[in-house]
């Protein structure tokens, strides 16, 4: 069950492939990989802590009192809270502050909406972050290859990289048919 959920959200229902979450982030950060590790740690910590807190508040307070419409507000509050705490620790440790609040918020909302139990929240959050950061080295390699090839200068833009990424994502997504509900395949 856990492995099915992990594979499904990493490849078939990946946030990058299906929803486009983080695609702009991937394209902008693939220019260099110097802050790759610290940013991955920051986003992972922020998303995990925020998603667990929002899931707890949603199931313990919002659902019993029929206040589900306040869920996005609590998601924003907890993402901003953990963003501030983690960025403070990063400043103390002399790391560059990370500004991925919107990305963390979207992943938290997706993870809490798609999950039933806390383990689902953690798995969906981790696979969403992992699939996004897995795309950065791929796009980095595509950019390096475009710079070395004999392509006219007018084609060496971000749009060519974007279309290359979209084409790769389309191939991976169309090859995988696991996005059908299990009842459809029977």
- pLDDT digit string (tens) for 92-109? 887 777 777 888 888 898
CA distances from 104 to 5, 128, 134, 140, 154 (A): 20, 10, 16, 22, 34
Q: Using the predicted structure, report yes or no on whether residue 180 has a pLDDT greater than 50.
A: no
Average pLDDT, the chain: 76
CA angle 121, 127, 133 (to 5 degrees): 135
Label residue 154 exposed, middle or buried (CB < 10 Å: 0-12, 13-18, 19+): exposed
| Predicted local distance difference test score (pLDDT) of residue 132 | 77
Question: What is the pLDDT, as a whole number, of residue 156?
Answer: 58
pLDDT surpasses 90 at 77:
yes
- The predicted-structure confidence for 105-156, as pLDDT tens digits, reads as follows 888 988 898 888 999 899 888 888 887 777 777 777 777 777 777 666 666 5
Percent of the chain's residues with pLDDT above 70: 63
User: What are φ and ψ of residue 30, in 5° steps?
Assistant: -85, 5
What per-residue confidence (pLDDT) applies to 186?
39
């Amino acid at each position: 069950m856990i492995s099915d959920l992990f594979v499904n959200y990493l490849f078939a229902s990946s946030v990058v492939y299906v929803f486009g979450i983080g695609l702009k982030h991937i394209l902008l950060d693939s220019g260099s990989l110097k802050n790759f590790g610290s940013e991955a740690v920051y986003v992972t910590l922020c998303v995990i802590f925020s998603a667990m807190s929002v899931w707890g508040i949603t199931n313990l307070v919002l659902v019993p009192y029929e206040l589900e419409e306040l869920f996005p507000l609590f998601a924003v509050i907890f993402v901003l809270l953990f963003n501030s705490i983690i960025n403070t620790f990063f400043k103390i440790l002399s790391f560059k502050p990370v500004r991925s609040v919107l990305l963390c918020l979207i992943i938290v909302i997706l993870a809490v909406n798609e999950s039933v139990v806390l383990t689902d929240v953690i798995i969906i959050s981790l696979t969403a972050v992992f699939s996004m950061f897995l795309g950065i080295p791929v796009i980095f390699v595509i950019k390096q290859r475009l710079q070395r090839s004999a392509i006219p200068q007018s084609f060496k833009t971000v749009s060519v990289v974007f279309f290359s990424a979209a084409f790769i994502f389309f191939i991976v997504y169309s090859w995988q048919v696991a996005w059908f509900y299990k009842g459809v395949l029977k």
